[in-house]
Amino acid sequence: MRVGFIGLGIMGSAMAMNIHKKGFPLIVYNRTRSKAEPFAKLGVPVANSPREVAEKSDVVIDMVTDAPDVEEVLFGRDGVVYGAHPGLIVIDMSTNSPEYARYFAKRLAEYGIEFLDAPVTGGDVGARQGTLTIMVGGKREVFEKVRPVLEAMGKTIIYAGDVGNGQMLKLLNQIVVGIDMLAVAEAMALAKKAGIDMDKLFTVLSTGAANSFTVQYYMPKMMKGDYEPGFRAAHLKKDLRYALETANKLGVPLPGTALTLELYNALVTKGLGDKGTQALLKLYYELSGIKE
């Protein structure tokens, strides 16, 4: 099965590399060509356009920032649809919304292209280690056909049902991720102000009922003042916005998500959108008058 991969950012580059390591014939494309250099050095072909990726692939995976980027890759100038051929499958592994997933599926069907929405969770460490959780919406038979490719990138592969359900599961995940980060940042800010030893706080949180991925993976970074991204704050802001938009359409109040989104809005406004989600602590420290 020939695989094309579009989008070689923090997550995408690691995911594509794992596909290569599993022996799938691979071709890659990135708007900023320099990010494809590690693949070129390994002898992996680097395409000049998404169209070329589609022409030379059975499965095209995109891992880009937001729905407009997906739309550009698929339908823009030299987009995937212009390289369409019988049997082509597109897997959107970006995070956007169930509504967008259904929109992409409908438009791609006009070109005879099958579509799956398959966002992931697990952060940069999961992408590198090939242990991502992947949530997949679309036709069951299409999912089964590409399962080996998905298993090259993830440890837990969940078939969620119809198109859009993968994105819905991801948004639910992001609600918990965002609020959990909020909780850790609040606890750390109060601990700092109260003079509590952070190592002791970490021991309590990581061994008791408060334990989580955020505590285990991000809190040690926060303790060291390491705000470099495993997952960018601006991306979480985008995901929480989609979650609230979906909730509003369904009439479900999400006050915790709304508060978390506003804090990430503030973080992005302060120019910290390219930092990791753990940079929320900087905002709490500033609001509390705490110097790092």
A 10 A CB-CB count for 22 gives: 15
Residue 292 has pLDDT above 90, yes or no: no
As a whole-number percent, the residues of the chain with pLDDT over 70 amount to 100
The C-alpha atoms of residue 281 and residue 286 are separated, in whole angstroms, by 9
A 10 A CB-CB count for 208 gives: 9
Predicted local distance difference test score (pLDDT) of residue 72:
98
Average pLDDT value for the chain: 97
| Inter-CA distances, 81 with 26, 51, 65, 226, 241, Å | 19, 7, 19, 41, 28
The C-alpha atoms of residue 226 and residue 151 are separated, in whole angstroms, by 31
Average pLDDT for 3-26: 97
The C-alpha atoms of residue 134 and residue 212 are separated, in whole angstroms, by 19
170 is catalytic: yes
pLDDT digits (tens, 9 = 90+) for 30-83: 999 999 999 999 999 999 999 999 999 999 999 999 999 999 999 999 999 999
Model confidence band, residue 230 (pLDDT cutoffs 50, 70, 90): confident
Average pLDDT for 260-267: 98
Give the predicted TM-score (pTM) of the model: 0.93
As a whole-number percent, the residues of the chain with pLDDT over 90 amount to 98
| Residue 60 amino acid letter | V
Catalytic residue among 22, 155, 170, 237: 170
